[in-house]
Structure 1
């Protein structure tokens, strides 16, 4: 269920680099409890848009408001705790899965609760012994799931997902979809999800398709 006030309000955001338009101007709103599925051809700027919304990349033009405040006025660390970006190919830290799931706790100067970490793993069809597994031993699908769980140790208000099921089989895709659907309903989480999966697209209530940018649509500021 959505409310009238958006969590994120994207107004005329675009991005160019070396005269090349990577993201044509776009405006959108994302509300609490809403899932917006983002699709479109490779090169249309989907990942660029999510990185801009996550404050990982500065737009060439336009503004983004979080709870009605321009995000350039917010502390990046606090903002990124509330607007969490999950990479398609996550960068994992340390030596083990435990190191990654414990990281959000340590950042907040809290002691990781092992039983909560095990419960997290179970929610995406990973077993408790996975906690001690070396990062280099993980498959692509396992890395995607660990990266997602790292983002969910402390619930953000907005979750930005960049093709997080691309390396998963159908059973594990279903587990991720079930998990995200539950978080949306139970926590009023707002989710923007890049996907090319036909089934995920067909089941989404709200889909935004990006087209390839026409060169010259956005320009570097003078």
Structure 2
């Protein structure tokens, strides 16, 4: 299991030599914390974490998973270590169960436990075929889409779990349930939450406010 994700003097450019952060970023996230990356929309929160996935390689500086530079790891190895839950997750035209497990080795009891812990199990049990119900984006509420995504990330069991605005469409009780669940697993996985939700930020063990980097125009 990974214990840290570290950025050392990192900056990124969509266009040659036009870097998005005024100050290169040096920051380290540790397993055992609820790590939050906060800041206004468009300030580069998601971009920063996507760099660790190898989505782009046109950045300066270095990113380390423990003592391994991500530039030395191919994309397959990176994706074995990291799962990124995008703010607009993909929902496949498939069963609830397959949307969560993505055809990995099935442990339905574990899926049920995860769904229950984030207050999603009752919704699933009200569906026509429960976990075997075929879904798509149009058949779910925005909150239910978020919960499918949260379950998918947690079920993956990957060392580094990155959640991008996971509570943006959740009600207050579901937000509290999500926070309680993250508290329980933070010693087992390296958890990073991209959020501007004040409730999430208040629960952070470590909050990196990216606004201090002043994204350039």
RMSD (Å), alpha carbons: 2.0
In the comparison of the two structures, how many residue pairs are matched?
A: 204
Question: Given the alignment, which residue of 108, 114, 119 partners 2:108?
Answer: 114
Tell me which moved more, 139-148 or 121-130.
121-130
Equivalence for 1:162:
164
Is 1:21 aligned with 2:19?
Answer: yes
Shift of 1:22: 2.9
Equivalence for 1:220:
none
Compute the TM-score of the two structures, normalised by the length of structure 1: 0.83
Paired with 2:202 and 2:114, the residues of 1 have a C-alpha distance of: 27
Q: Which runs of 5+ in 2 are unaligned?
A: none
Contact 2:21 2:216 in 1 (8 A): no
Q: Secondary structure at the match of 2:155?
A: coil
Equivalence for 1:12:
9
Shift of 1:143: 0.8
Shift of 1:94: 3.5
Alignment of 1:1-222 (within 5 A): 7-18=4-15, 20-24=18-22, 25-103=24-102, 105=104, 110=105, 112-127=106-121, 128-129=124-125, 130-133=130-133, 134-135=135-136, 136-185=138-187, 187=188, 189-211=189-211, 212-214=214-216
Contact 1:104 1:154 in 2 (8 A): no
Paired with 2:58 and 2:34, the residues of 1 have a C-alpha distance of: 23
Contact 2:20 2:216 in 1 (8 A): no
Q: Secondary structure at the match of 2:76?
A: helix
Equivalence for 1:218:
none
Compute the TM-score of the two structures, normalised by the length of structure 2: 0.85
Contact 1:37 1:208 in 2 (8 A): yes
Paired with 2:101 and 2:201, the residues of 1 have a C-alpha distance of: 33
